[in-house]
Amino acid sequence: MKNKADILEGNISREILDVLLRDHTTQRNIFWATKDYEQWGEGYAESDEIIYEKVCDNNKIIPRVLKDRLQQTARSRDMAEVFTPSWVCNAQNNLIDKAWFGREGVFNIEVEENGIHSWIPTIEPIKFPEGKTWKDYVRDNRMEVTCGEAPYITSRYDATTGELIPVERRIGLLDRKLRVINENVHTSGEWLIAAQDAYKSIYGFEWQGDNLLLAREAMLCTFIENYEKKFGKRPLSASIKYIAYIVSWNVWQMDGLKGVVPNSCTDNVVPSLFGDDMRTPCRGCTDGGYHNHTGIYCLIKDWRAKDPKTNKLGKKIRFVDLFK
- When comparing pLDDT for 191 and 71, which is higher? 191
DSSP assignment of 265-282 equals: ---EEE--TTS--EEE--
Q: Contact 220/227 with Cβ under 8 angstroms?
A: no
Secondary structure (3-state) at 110? strand
Residue 276: CB partners within 8 Å, gap ≥ 6? none
Please tell me the predicted confidence (pLDDT) of residue 160.
Answer: 73
Mean pLDDT over each residue of the chain, to the nearest integer = 90
Please tell me the predicted confidence (pLDDT) of residue 163.
Answer: 83
In the DSSP assignment, the letter for residue 145 is: S
Which strand (E) or helix (H) includes residue 28?
strand 28-29
Whether the per-residue pLDDT at 80 is higher than 60: the answer is: no
Question: How crowded is the C-beta side of 231, counted as CA atoms within 13 Å?
Answer: 17
Whether the per-residue pLDDT at 133 is higher than 80: the answer is: yes
* AA letter at 208: Q
Please tell me the predicted confidence (pLDDT) of residue 57.
Answer: 74
CA-wise closest residue to 99 among 142, 135, 151: 142
Q: Contact 300/252 with Cβ under 8 angstroms?
A: yes
Model confidence band, residue 2 (pLDDT cutoffs 50, 70, 90)? very low
Please tell me the predicted confidence (pLDDT) of residue 250.
Answer: 98
Secondary structure (3-state) at 193? helix
What are the percentages of helix, strand and coil residues in the chain, rounded to 5?
Answer: 40, 15, 45
Please tell me the predicted confidence (pLDDT) of residue 1.
Answer: 35
Q: Can you give the residue ranges of every domain in the chain?
A: 1-253, 265-324
The CA distance from 188 to 193, in Å, is 9
The CA distance from 321 to 319, in Å, is 5
Question: What are the start-end ranges of the E strands in 107-224?
Answer: 108-113, 116-121, 142-144, 202-206
Model confidence band, residue 66 (pLDDT cutoffs 50, 70, 90)? low
Beta bridge partners of 260: 255, 297
Q: Contact 305/321 with Cβ under 8 angstroms?
A: no
Q: pLDDT digit string (tens) for 221-275?
A: 999 999 999 999 999 999 999 999 999 999 999 999 999 999 999 998 777 666 6
